[in-house]
Amino acid sequence: MNDVWSWQRAAEALPPILEGFRITLLATVVGTAIAAVLGLLVALVRRSRSRWVTAPVGLAVEFVRSTPLLVQLVFVYLMLPSVPALVVGCVVLGVHYATYMSEVYRAGIDAVPRGQWEAAKALDLPRTRVWRAVVLPQAIRKTLPGLGNYAISMFKETPYLFAISVVEMFTAAQQFGGRTFVYTEALTMVGLLFLLASYPTSLLVRRLENRLA
Amino acid sequence: MPETTAPRDAAPSGTVPAPARATTTVQGAVPAIEFQGVVKRFGDNTVLDGLDFSVAKGDRVTLIGPSGSGKTTILRLLMTLEEADGGIILVDGDPYTHEIRGGKRVEVPEKRRRAVRRRVGMVFQQFNLFPNMSVLENIIEAPMHVLGLTRAQATVRAEELLDQVGLADKRDARCTQLSGGQQQRVAIARALAMDPEILLLDEVTSALDPEIVADVLGVLREVAETTDITMLIVTHEMQFARDVSNRVLMFDHGRIVEEADPETMFTSPTHERTQEFLRAVLGD
């Protein structure tokens, strides 16, 4: 029982960990989708000329960004007891990262040359077309690597969902360790799975970055 | 075409306030463009200080002068890329960004600005094609979404224009794959696709290699010969100015210091600043 590594234990730990991995991926994908859409909305709203619009949104963004994700998760989970923990997790992850992604979008929009806006105006394009056909396609191309990196960060922060008892990969390993009193195999596999998923993804993002540069 | 849309030309002078200042256009005709006391400042720098001038319909006017003399600012004001700090600008007699109402200078609502802006097209020094679109998409974007043409209608017109600028085979190319000269010819086609009454050309060859300048100027010469579009041209290509324009305005410090037909302007300028400028430009 006191051998350092047991392949048999590893094999026993694998199914619950893989089930946890599924939840981890789900939370990351849904969280990223929420963050990507909400982040864009925030970036657009913050360009409004009205201070009555930009000031409260700016304050909210600052608040979310300046408080820890863990605190936000637990707070929302406890405040909304009737909402399933996984839903709370996805939404809080999404909102938290939306504040970061909105900055990526802002930079992408700012990077669209002034001449593009001027040409659009010279053609008298309506506002919606200027954004949809000219500015956003160019801006979003430039934001993809940044969004990708934040998605990877989010993936690596999903273990925080442990705090609101979502059984993602890390929680699954913890539970397995709790049952068997040995954590080595389970936690090692969790680490390896994180590495296995995030490293190739980050290589992909880097390639994307080079291709779009 | 202007005749059919020009009831305001015939309006009795009682309903339309007479232009505040004498213009150089044919008596009675409404100028295509009229600046009345236009002021433009950038910070402490006053670029235009009460500029008055007008351009008759169908005129091809070249603006020359040292950099910083306000030529490009005039084009940018006409495209509403900048806003004047004083005075008013009329296009076909219609107030553009500001008008005088009850003796006060007030802003024209965006809807009416747009109606005026729609008659004005511009070609930029840096082309400013949309890199996320193909050549054809660049040209049909505004006709479809501003003029309300169908894709098929817009495409027919775009293909004619591409043919005219000698790029029919580049229809589906990405703009980024084209040379500078080709991009600029697409930009010209894009501006023409909106059937502008006024075309602003802002140093359209300045960003091009010398050997392809001629292609672009050739296209513009043809436009000048085959249409009656009013053109305002800022250029350093004096030969082009001479070939295409019927009037040349020499600017210095935001004022017109000399005005003449191109022949006179380039062979026997009278103002000292013009002589200096032309010596500097044509000297080498």
pLDDT beyond 90 at A19: yes
CB contact under 8 A, B145 and A129: yes
Chain A residues close to B126, C-beta within 8 Å: 115
Pick the residue from chain B with its C-alpha nearest to A129: B145
pLDDT in tens, B32-43: 999 999 999 999
The CATH fold assigned to B2-119+196-282 is Rossmann fold (3.40.50)
pLDDT of residue B6: 41
pTM greater than 0.80 (yes/no): yes
pLDDT beyond 80 at B1: no
pLDDT of residue A2: 56
pLDDT of residue B282: 80
CATH 3.40.50.300 range(s) for chain B read: 2-119+196-282
CB contact under 8 A, A121 and B79: yes
What is the rounded distance in angstroms from the CA atom of residue A142 to the CA atom of residue B132?
12
pLDDT of residue B174: 93
* Helix A7-45 vs helix A169-180: crossing angle, to nearest 10: 150
Is residue B69 within 8 Å of residue B45, measured between CB atoms? Answer: no
Q: Which of A167-181, B17-31, B114-128, B165-179 comes out lowest in average pLDDT?
A: B17-31
pLDDT in tens, A115-166: 999 999 999 999 999 999 999 999 998 899 999 999 999 999 999 999 999 9
What is the rounded distance in angstroms from the CA atom of residue B188 to the CA atom of residue B121?
9
Tell me how far CA of residue B46 lies from CA of A47, B68, B194, B233, B253, in angstroms: 29, 10, 33, 22, 9
What is the rounded distance in angstroms from the CA atom of residue A144 to the CA atom of residue A131?
17
What ipTM score was computed for the predicted complex, to two decimals? 0.86
Quick one: what percent of chain B has pLDDT higher than 90? 78
Mean pLDDT of A38-55: 94
What is the rounded distance in angstroms from the CA atom of residue A40 to the CA atom of residue A19?
32
pLDDT of residue B23: 47
Chain B residues close to A116, C-beta within 8 Å: 128, 130
pLDDT in tens, A182-213: 899 999 999 999 999 999 999 999 998 888 76
Mean pLDDT of A69-92: 96
CB contact under 8 A, B141 and A137: no
pLDDT beyond 60 at B230: yes
Q: What is the gyration radius of the CA atoms in chain B, in angstroms? A: 19
Pick the residue from chain A with its C-alpha nearest to B189: A123
CB contact under 8 A, B142 and A124: yes
DSSP assignments along chain B, one per residue: -GGGG-HHHHS-TTTSPPPSS--SSPTTPPPSEEEEEEEEEETTEEEEEEEEEEE-TT-EEEEE-STTSSHHHHHHHHTTSS--SEEEEEETTEE-SEEEETTEEEEPPHHHHHHHHTTEEEE-TT----TTSBHHHHHHHHHHHTS---HHHHHHHHHHHHHHTT-GGGTTSBGGGS-HHHHHHHHHHHHHTT--SEEEEESTTTTS-HHHHHHHHHHHHHHHHH---EEEEE-S-HHHHHHH-SEEEEEETTEEEEEE-HHHHHHS--SHHHHHHHHHHH--
Chain B residues close to A120, C-beta within 8 Å: 130
CB contact under 8 A, B132 and A138: yes
Is residue B4 within 8 Å of residue B169, measured between CB atoms? Answer: no
Computed over every residue of chain A, the mean pLDDT equals 93
Chain B contact present for A129, CB below 8 A:
yes
- Characterize the bridge pairing of strands B247-252 and B60-64: parallel
> Model confidence at B27, in pLDDT bands (50, 70, 90)?
low
pLDDT of residue B11: 41
pLDDT beyond 80 at B15: no
pLDDT beyond 80 at B14: no
pLDDT beyond 90 at A4: no
- Residue to substitute from A112, A124, A130, A143, interface B, most B β-carbons within 10 A: A124
CB contact under 8 A, B130 and A133: yes
Chain B residues close to A133, C-beta within 8 Å: 130, 133, 141, 145
CB contact under 8 A, A126 and B146: yes
Domains and CATH numbers, chain A: 13-212 (1.10.3720.10)
Computed over every residue of chain B, the mean pLDDT equals 89
pLDDT of residue A213: 67
- Characterize the bridge pairing of strands B60-64 and B230-234: parallel
Chain B residues close to A118, C-beta within 8 Å: 79, 81, 124, 128
Mean pLDDT of A61-81: 95
In this complex, the residue of B114, B124, B145 whose CB is nearest that of residue A118 is B124
In this complex, the residue of A121, A124, A134 whose CB is nearest that of residue B130 is A134
Q: Per the structure block, which two tokens stand in for B224?
A: 């000048």
pLDDT of residue A210: 86
